[in-house]
Chain A
Amino acid sequence: MARLIRTEKEVEGRYEEVWIVVDEDALDRWPAGPLTTVGQRVPRVDGLARARGQALFTADLQLPGMLHTAVLRSPYARARVISIDLEPARSAFGVRAVIGPADLDQLTDEPGYVGHAVAAVAADTFGQAQAAAERIVVEWDVLEPLLDADEAVRQESFVSDVANYERGDFERGLGGADVVVEAEYRTQVVVHNSLETHQAVCHWEDDGITIYISTQYIWGIRASMADHLGLPPDKVRVICHAMGGGFGAKNSPGDYTPIAAELAKRTARPVRCALTRREENVAAGNRNATIQRLTAAATTDGTLVALGGDFVNAVGYSGWSATTEGPMKMLYACDNVRTTQYPAKLNLPPMAAFRAPGFVEGTFGLECLLDELAVKLGIDPLELRRMNYADSDRTDDRPFSSKNLAECYRRAEPHWAKRDEVRARSRGPWKHGIGLASQIWYGGGGPPSYAWIRVGSDGRAQVVTAMQDIGTGTRTAMAQIAAEELGIPLDHVQVSLGDSARGPFASISAGSSTVPSMGPAVRSAAADAKRQIIEIAAQRFHLEERVLDLRDGQIVSTDGGSWPLTEVTGLLESGQILGQGARGPNPAGMQVLTFGVQVAEVAVDVETGEVRVDKIVAIHDVGRVINALGAESQVEGGIIQGIGHTLSEERIDDPATGSILSRTLDAYRMPTIADVPEIVSELVDIPDEHLTNLGSKGLGEPPIIPVAAAIANAIRDATGAEIRSLPITREEMLRALREAEAREKERRGAAAAV
């Protein structure tokens, strides 16, 4: 029965109170551990098509008569357009339409950051559009930009309200402490740099619009573009068959989709608006910089008695302020916690969600500080974490739906126990060490989400749902779930997705929610189809439904009878069995979270400052694992992206003008395969017994979260140096080493004086 409930909905750590209609989730849970198809290592069902270049990405699409767009973007961080002359562009060769600030909300005459869209040109070729855009004449009034986050806080320039939080009494906790550590941590701006840049092709047809777009959220694009265009949502069809990465930056239409829609309307042609790699590095969103001024206090027995922090999020010109303070509030069982979060509004390109926004940054600060505390207390860092283990969510005293972080710690032990062995590898200038860091994050997904399934007379099934596969292997995971429930081989299941006109509503692929939101809906659709097949089989074989089941492509009865599935489905001829499924509610009154721990082994060249990551062991608890192979590749991807964040990636801005200096993949340094360490991934694989018919949580984000802190803690273990700032360039490494040396000298001096 459908039930109306008022509930909290969480995406990327942001909560909203909403009404939703949910269907009960009445299925029995599968037993824990790998099953016939679910939990196995399954290569991607679309792997071959991808390897052969046959998978259709938005970037591949060539519609007849399609035009290309170049966007004129502001070269100034803060300016006013005094006058703009679009005529020279209009008269340029191949140009079909030119629009400026007067024509579209997404084009501005008061740019607030370098890269803010001002005008756009559609032409027969991209080269023509670019050449024409250069001919647009703009007279600028260049204004003083606000670029410093601390200065923004002083001026109270914010994108939203300052967020204050306190539980217990922080000051009192501090007063009762034996050991207090304080430190300031900084994280840099990093850019998603997906392989496929942000882009959309808009095509007005059938008195509506079709939008082909590289997106993480087909239905979100449909809703926001319908709203923007003043159309009923069903006049907006959104299509995304294959997608070249998003990492959180492709949840909304951006400026490029409205620009393409407007130009397509004016020219009555399909129009592509695709960001170039340079635009991608400037105007496509980023993980914003943070400044974290943190305090941790404990009694000599290791009990955390106070945690506090001022967190400055350098959000940029717009966007939302991620919960950088989240890990400090949630990871440990500390009674007295006080945090303040300042969402600084600056004349810099806006942030966009990036793989666990806020928690990646906040975990770096908190988990480094905890190790500094461990050193001062003389307590083993792993022990200190165990001593302060949270058994419930301390922010509102809700129980966890499941938490196996203790099991993660237990499995980390053998790796952690190698500390002496690893340190003993140090030779000459190369110092070796081990560090660890914990992970906490969301990833429970939620309703609504729907799936349909159809089974034909050949006994094969097609899952139909208008979700997207953002490159994480969703097609494979959904096929596994359907195959498992229907008891048919994996290659008898097709998954049709990627088109809002073909299938029911499906959740966003962000916040690690794809599997936990969509998986249960697919299973319940398959269960619905299976129920109908058994009903028919019971009539065909004159048996009771309860003695029948589907297994290995056979209909089996408890008394040993067995018939090929097609014996029943074959009766359908052109008829089909149609199953319908919905995602049930999340467990009421419980907090659904993911957990983990990573152990990093590093080597530091103390003379040149080079940091080499030798190995990372990642142990995560995300409930039931659907595809062990796919899960492993999510872990590897997260760790590699995390290593980039930790060691080499940084958007470089001109501090005087706010111009972006790193606009290419040469200047913006993502890791190469030569930078990838040995990665060992281990998943606890215990189904969450309160969460849906699958007990699965998401894994897209967790693996990137503890990487930076684990590496920084390993560096401390190897050298005694305290890393305070990302990325850990050679210069930051040498600075930290010099500081450690000075500290050590001072300590020895003080000891000598006594």
Chain B
Amino acid sequence: MDVLTPRSLEQALRLKAERPDAVPIQGGTDVMVELNFDRARPAALLNLNEVAELRGWSRQNGRVWLGSGLTYAEAMERPLAEALPALAEAARTVGGPQIRNRGTIGGNLGTASPAGDALPPLLVCGAEVKIASVRGERIVPLPDFVVGPKRNVLAEDELILGVSVGGTESRQTFMKVGPRNAMVIAVVSLAVRVDGDLRAAFGSAGPVPTLVRAGLGDVDSFPQRVAEAASPIDDVRGTASYRRHALRILTRRALDRCLV
């Protein structure tokens, strides 16, 4: 297996164009699991850890820019945690400290799991994913980026540069139900944001993380609408009916938190 380590974004995009079979790796907390369990044997890894352009976060034109290499540990720190509290709350629930130090937002988008914990908070904040290749850049709204369980719109020569999210301060929160208090893949997760309208996004309750919106007048019916928008399944983590039930309860509680 080849490991390609570009030192700049330009180099990275060129390498990806030359070697479309190279699997990008950032924290490796998903990629290495695939390799260890022998579920994937890529011919090459494209190590993005040395690409400075993908790191960190900034404010740009009233929006917040998150580099695809932003780790959960970084998302938990102020002042970013104050700008995006739901994302910070979600980050705190991810894995254990080692995973939070390594795992990245870009990796969560790359994996595009229905249980990806960063995705619901990004969805309620109107995230747009910025994608690049040697052919140029494009911006895809997050709901259009994830197209199925563990599937996204990336072409084989493209990389995720990062996401930009609405920068205005708003009431928002994140909740996650798991069978224990740490190191869990969500049975169901939920982010809610109240800012001119009601927005909820859930994970682990359908093939893709899903955004539900309603007017401020619909507070009472919103929990039910969120539950109905879900299309959960029964699996080893929980039943479909429990997931729907939990979404209803969590949405109500999240609204209570955001509307005080």
Complex-state Cα separation, A648 to B236, whole angstroms: 12
Contact pattern, A 110-142, Cβ under 8 Å of B = 1, otherwise 0? 000000000000000000000000000000000
Q: Check B245 for interface membership: any CB of A closer than 8 A.
A: yes
Which of the candidate stretches A255-263, A343-351, A587-595, A669-677 sits at the interface with the other chain? A669-677
Q: Does B125 contact A (CB under 8 A)?
A: no
* A599-658 with Cβ < 8 A to chain B: 607-610, 647-648, 652
Determine how close the nearest CB of chain A comes to the CB of B33; give it in whole angstroms. Answer: 10
Tell whether, in the assembled complex, residue A675 and residue B181 are in contact, meaning their CB atoms are under 8 Å apart: yes
A664's nearest neighbour on chain B, judged by CB, is B37
Given A608-B177, A729-B179, A730-B177: A669 and B184 interface contact (C-beta under 8 Å): yes
Check B180–A648 contact: CB distance below 8 A: yes
A661 within 8 A of B: yes
The B-contacting residues of A in range 709-745, CB under 8 angstroms, are: 729-731, 734
Which chain B residues lie closer than 8 Å to A303 at the CB level? Answer: none
Is A666 an interface residue when CB atoms closer than 8 A count as contact?
yes
Assuming the contacts A652-B236, A662-B236, A730-B242, asked whether A608 and B249 have C-beta atoms less than 8 A apart, the reply is: yes
- Determine how close the nearest CB of chain A comes to the CB of B6; give it in whole angstroms: 30
Query: Is the Cβ of A674 less than 8 Å from the Cβ of B182?
Result: yes
CB distance from B76 to the nearest CB of A (A): 16
Minimal Cβ-Cβ distance residue in A for B241 = A731
- Cα separation A661 to B234 with both chains bound (whole Å): 13
Chain A nearest CB from B241 CB (Å) reads: 8
Is B236 a contact of A675 with CB atoms below 8 Å?
Answer: no
Q: Is B239 an interface residue (CB 8 A)?
A: yes
- Give the docked Cα–Cα distance between A670 and B180 (Å): 8
State in angstroms the CA–CA spacing of A662 and B237 once bound together: 10
B181 and A734 form a contact (CB under 8 A): no
Assess whether A674 is in contact with B180, with CB atoms less than 8 Å apart: yes
Q: Decide if B242 touches A661 in the complex (CB within 8 Å).
A: no
B185: A residues at CB distance < 8 A: 666
Chain A residues in 8 Å Cβ range of B96: 672
Say whether A667 faces chain B, with CB atoms less than 8 Å apart.
yes
CB distance from B50 to the nearest CB of A (A): 29
Q: Residue on B with the closest CB to A672?
A: B182
Chain A residues within 8 Å of B245, by CB: 734
Among candidates B180, B184, B187, B242, residue contacting A734 with C-beta atoms closer than 8 Å: B242
Q: Which of B180, B183, B238 is within 8 Å of A731, CB to CB?
A: B238
Cα–Cα distance between A609 and B177 once the two chains are bound (Å): 10
Are A669 and B182 also in contact (CB < 8 A) when A607-B249, A661-B236, A731-B238 are? no
A671 to B181, CA, bound (A): 8
Contact at A731–B239, with CB atoms within 8 Å? yes
Residue B246 at the chain A interface, CB threshold 8 Å:
yes
Smallest CB-CB separation from A666: which chain B residue?
B185
Bits for B219-260, please: 1 = Cβ < 8 Å to A, else 0: 000000000000000001011001001100110000000000
Chain B residues whose CB sits within 8 angstroms of the CB of A670 once the complex forms: 180
In terms of DSSP, what is the predominant structure of the interface of chain B? loop
Residues in B whose Cβ lies below 8 Å from that of A673: 182
Task: Name the distance in Å between A113's Cβ and chain B's nearest Cβ.
Answer: 19
Cβ-closest chain B residue relative to A644: B180
Contact check: which of A609, A667, A674 meets B236 at CB < 8 Å?
A667
Complexed CA–CA distance, A670 and B185 (Å): 13
In contact, B180 and A672 (Cβ under 8 angstroms): yes
Assembly CA distance A671 to B182 (angstroms): 8
Per the bound structure, the CA–CA distance linking A729 and B177 in Å amounts to 12
- The residue in chain A whose Cβ has the minimal distance to the Cβ of B38 is A130
Q: Which residues of B contact A647 (CB under 8 A)?
A: 179-180
Q: Which residue of B lies closest to A673 (CB)?
A: B182
What residues on A are CB-neighbors of B236 within 8 Å? Answer: 652, 661-662, 667
The interface residues of chain A lying within 8 Å CB-to-CB of B180 are 647-648, 669-672, 674-675
Contacts of A671 in B (CB 8 A): 180
Residues of A within 8 A of B246 (CB): 608, 730
Q: Which of B177, B181, B249 contacts A672 (CB 8 A)?
A: B181
Contacts of B238 in A (CB 8 A): 729-731
Which interface residue of B181, B182, B185, B249 has the most chain A CB atoms within 10 A?
B181
Give the distance in Å from the alpha carbon of A674 to the alpha carbon of B178 in the complex.
12
Residue in chain A with minimal CB distance to B248? A607
* B124, chain A: closest CB distance, angstroms: 21
Which residues of A have CB within 8 Å of B250? 608
**How far apart sit A674 and B181, CA to CA, in the bound complex (Å)?**
6
Interface 1/0s, chain A 669-698, versus B by CB < 8 A?
111111100000000000000000000000
Interfacial chain B residues near A667, Cβ < 8 Å: 236
List CB contacts (< 8 Å) of B192-242 with chain A.
236, 238-239, 242
Please, how many angstroms separate the alpha-carbon atoms of A622 and B200 in the complex? 55
B242–A648 contact, CB under 8 A?
no
- Closest chain A residue to B183, Cβ basis: A672
- Cα–Cα, bound, A607→B245 (Å): 9
> What's the least CB distance linking B97 to chain A, in Å?
11
Contact of A648 with B179 in the complex, beta carbons under 8 Å: yes
- Which residues from B are CB-within-8-Å of A608? 177, 246, 249-250
Shortest CB-to-CB span from A432 to chain B, Å, is 18
Task: Kindly report which residue of chain A lies nearest to residue B185, judged by CB atoms.
Answer: A666
Q: A608-B177, A608-B246 are in contact. Are A675 and B182 (CB under 8 A)?
A: yes
Point out the residues of chain B lying under 8 angstroms from A607, CB to CB.
249
Return A323 CB to nearest CB of chain B, in Å: 30
CB-CB under 8 A from A609, the residues of chain B are 242
Chain B residue numbers with a CB within 8 Å of A610 are 177
Contact residues in B for A734 (Cβ distance below 8 Å): 242, 245
Across the interface, name the chain B residue whose C-beta is closest to A668: B236
Known: A608-B249, A652-B236, A662-B236. A731 touches B182 (CB 8 A): no
With both chains docked as a complex, state the minimum distance between the C-beta of A522 and any C-beta of chain B, in angstroms.
Answer: 40
CA distance A671 to B184 in the complex (A): 11
Whole-angstrom distance between the alpha carbons of A528 and B184 in the complex?
55
Specify the chain A residue showing the minimal Cβ separation from B37: A664
Considering the complex, which residues of chain A in the window 458-507 have a beta carbon less than 8 Å from any beta carbon of chain B? none
The CB with the most chain A CB atoms within 10 A, among B179, B187, B238, B245, is that of: B179
Min CB distance B52 to A, Å, is 33
B256 closest partner in A (C-beta): A428
Please report the C-alpha to C-alpha distance between residue A674 and residue B236 in the assembled complex, in whole angstroms: 22
What's the Cα separation between A675 and B245 when bound, in Å?
24
C-alpha spacing A652/B237, complex, angstroms:
10
* Chain A residues within an 8 Å CB radius of B242: 609, 730-731, 734
CB distance from B253 to the nearest CB of A (A): 8
Residues from chain B with a CB closer than 8 A to the CB of A648 are 179-180
Residue of B238, B239, B246 with most chain A CB atoms under a 10 A cut-off? B246
Distance of A523 Cα from B246 Cα, bound (Å): 59
Expressed in whole angstroms, the Cα–Cα distance for A661 and B236 within the complex equals 8
User: With the chains together, A145 CA to B180 CA distance in Å?
Assistant: 33
A430 to chain B, nearest CB (A): 12
B32 → A minimal CB distance (Å): 14
Q: Which residues of A contact B181 (CB under 8 A)?
A: 672, 674-675
Against B, the Cβ 8 Å flags (1 = close, 0 = not) of A400-420 are: 000000000000000000000
Which residues of chain B are within 8 angstroms of A661 by Cβ–Cβ distance?
A: 236
Q: How far is the CB of A70 from chain B (nearest CB, A)?
A: 13
Which B residues lie within 8 Å of A662 (CB)? 236
Q: In angstroms, how far is the closest chain A Cβ from the Cβ of B183? A: 5
- Shortest CB distance A678–B (Å): 14
CB distance from B148 to the nearest CB of A (A): 22
Q: Give the distance in Å from the alpha carbon of A675 to the alpha carbon of B184 in the complex.
A: 12
A159 to B10: give the CA distance in the assembly, Å.
Answer: 68
Q: How far is the CA of A673 from the CA of B96 in the complex (A)?
A: 11
Shortest distance from the beta carbon of A78 to any chain B beta carbon, whole Å = 23
Give Cα A731–Cα B234 distance, bound, in whole angstroms.
12
Starting from the known contacts A610-B177, A673-B182, A674-B181, 4 additional A-B residue pairs (CB-CB under 8 Å) come to A647-B180, A666-B185, A669-B179, A671-B180
Sample of 19 A–B contacts (CB below 8 Å): A608-B177, A608-B250, A610-B177, A647-B179, A666-B183, A669-B184, A670-B180, A672-B96, A672-B181, A672-B183, A674-B180, A674-B181, A674-B182, A675-B180, A729-B179, A730-B238, A730-B242, A730-B246, A731-B242
> Which 9 interchain pairs have the tightest Cβ spacing?
A674-B181, A674-B182, A672-B182, A607-B249, A675-B181, A648-B179, A648-B180, A669-B179, A731-B242
